[in-house]
């Protein structure tokens, strides 16, 4: 795109009513690069969700629903919350009712108007894929485009959308899950005066680390614990997994899109350990694979499941920027940190096969078909060391409970976002945590009412009950 713009605009893509909620899908036209706001633009989509109101005698107020800035935002202007999805590179859900996504209901019950943001490059906001990136030209040109899809640009988008919906002086709240929590802290450091309160779920960023390696050393330990829990629950899988690994080492298993199920790609399935039911899900997949290999080969259905299991190829952004989300300012370089930490963590040849967790590695460039053309760009990103600042630390240090309440649902055994690294943030900014070992990383999805209730108990009373 090469359109010029001076003011943000939006287009209503759709409005529909389903199962008691009204959703309006709005597309905003925003700068690709906020340092050059009159240059290239990108689309950013937000879904505005309200409990649907009825007219008198149960008659719906709208026969053909449409978005009304006055009715859908203005009537509830003091109670908007923008939801930032985890990732990077994953869209917000398309709501089908008050319990899908599950966190909608406890928010709508508290009279929130919920703004579900498709962060730039995801969902309906011009999703980043291999074809799009290759169309940008050289590796350098691809990078000059994609470097504007980090947390700093996302919060600039948020604040432009806030201003369009609520006016320059309007304020709203933010709920951030996982990477969305990292981005919510970025938002608090960039625009604290525009926020009423901040809610983080599994999303305290590791602001005190000196390298990505430090993050991996912590999360690798959690992943090791989850491996042991998996094999303790399903001891028969020790030998089943070894059988699968031997088969993959001795045979080239081609997936439906031309990618390869290598040993390293199979090892990455441990990413699922971090969510509720993750060990059971892997057990079912391992049992299926083992049974099929006893008959000589994996079925097309199982190969398709494996191809899509981690959604790497449908979320290119995640692969490219997973390590870059930890890089804050010039002089920071990732350099394929996971490969370094893996090399320094030798496997026990006498023990069970150990799955890895939330990492990206060079080997993915070979085993994933959609990543192969992007190898030069991936190498460029991992070697780059002139990153923009994604946190204004001096601003965070000034925040207090009185100026901007920040609450965080924190999970002791979180495989993705380490508890201890997040706890160190107390030295930088004030927040009040709710800590539990009863939920994993996706606690917001698994126990929405409970998590939202606990966060609001602190917000409502200013302290723990």
Model pLDDT for residues 204-213, shown as the tens digit of each residue: 999 999 999 9
With a pLDDT cut of 90, the percent of the chain lying above it is 89
Contact between 41 and 3 under an 8 Å Cβ cutoff? The reply is yes
State residue 296's pLDDT score: 92
Show Cβ contacts of residue 99 under 8 Å, excluding neighbours closer than 6 positions.
105
Confidence of residue 3 (pLDDT cuts 50, 70, 90): very low
Residue 84 pairs with which residues in a beta bridge?
176
Contact between 174 and 195 under an 8 Å Cβ cutoff? The reply is yes
State residue 2's pLDDT score: 36
Residue 337 CA to residue 382 CA, distance in Å, equals: 9
What is the pTM (predicted TM-score) of this model? 0.94
Residues in the chain: 465
**Phi then psi dihedrals of residue 184, to 5 deg:** -65, -35
Residue 234 CA to residue 224 CA, distance in Å, equals: 15
State residue 428's pLDDT score: 96
Name the DSSP class of 72. I
Residue range 195-222: mean pLDDT, rounded = 95
State residue 116's pLDDT score: 98
The model's pLDDT over 129-186, given as tens digits with 9 standing for 90+, comes to 999 999 999 999 999 999 999 999 999 999 999 999 999 999 999 999 999 999 999 9
Residue 120 CA to residue 25 CA, distance in Å, equals: 15
* CA 432 vs CA 80, 199, 208, 386, 455: distances in Å: 21, 10, 18, 33, 9
Name the DSSP class of 433. E
Residue 328 CA to residue 390 CA, distance in Å, equals: 6
**Phi then psi dihedrals of residue 101, to 5 deg:** -70, 155
Q: What is the mean pLDDT of the chain?
A: 93
């Amino acid at each position: 795109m090469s359109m010029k713009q001076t003011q943000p605009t939006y287009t209503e893509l759709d409005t529909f009513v389903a199962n008691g909620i009204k959703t309006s899908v709005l597309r905003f036209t925003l700068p690709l690069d906020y340092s050059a706001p009159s240059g290239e633009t990108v689309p950013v989509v937000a879904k505005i969700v309200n409990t649907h109101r009825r007219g008198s005698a149960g008659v719906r107020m709208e026969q053909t629903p449409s978005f009304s800035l006055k009715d859908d935002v203005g009537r509830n202007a003091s109670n908007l919350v923008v939801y930032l999805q985890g990732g990077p590179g994953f869209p917000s859900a398309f709501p089908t009712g008050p319990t899908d996504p599950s966190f909608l209901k406890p928010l709508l019950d508290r009279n929130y108007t919920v703004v579900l943001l498709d962060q730039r490059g995801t969902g309906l906001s011009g999703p980043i894929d291999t074809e799009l990136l290759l169309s940008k030209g050289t590796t350098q040109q691809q990078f000059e485009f994609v470097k504007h899809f980090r947390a700093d640009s996302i919060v600039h988008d948020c604040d432009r959308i806030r201003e369009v919906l609520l006016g320059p002086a309007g304020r709203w709240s933010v709920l951030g899950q996982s990477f969305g929590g990292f981005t919510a802290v970025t938002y608090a450091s960039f625009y604290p005066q525009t926020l009423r309160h901040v809610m983080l779920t599994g999303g305290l960023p590791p602001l005190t680390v000196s390298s990505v390696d430090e993050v991996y050393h912590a999360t690798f330990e959690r992943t090791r614990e989850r491996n042991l829990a998996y094999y303790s629950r399903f001891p028969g899988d020790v030998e089943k997994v070894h059988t699968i690994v031997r088969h993959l080492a001795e045979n080239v298993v081609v997936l439906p899109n031309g990618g390869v199920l290598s040993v390293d790609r199979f090892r990455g399935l441990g990413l699922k350990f971090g969510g509720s039911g993750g060990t059971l899900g892997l057990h079912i997949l391992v049992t299926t694979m083992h049974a099929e290999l006893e008959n000589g080969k994996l079925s097309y259905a199982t190969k398709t499941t494996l191809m899509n299991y981690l959604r790497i190829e449908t979320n290119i952004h995640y692969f490219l920027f997973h390590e870059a989300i930890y890089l804050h300012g010039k002089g920071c370089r990732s350099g394929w940190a996971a490969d370094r930490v893996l090399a320094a963590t030798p496997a026990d040849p006498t023990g069970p096969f150990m799955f890895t967790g939330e990492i990206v590695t060079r080997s993915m460039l070979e085993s994933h078909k959609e990543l192969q053309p992007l190898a030069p760009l991936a190498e460029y990103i991992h070697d780059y060391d002139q990153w923009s600042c994604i946190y204004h630390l001096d601003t965070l240090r000034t925040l207090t409970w009185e100026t901007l309440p920040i609450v965080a649902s924190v999970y002791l055994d979180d495989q993705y976002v380490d508890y201890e690294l997040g706890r160190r943030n107390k030295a930088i900014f004030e927040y009040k945590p709710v800590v539990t070992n009863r939920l994993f990383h996706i606690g917001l999805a698994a126990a929405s009412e409970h998590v939202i209730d606990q966060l609001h108990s602190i917000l409502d009373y200013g302290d723990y009950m």
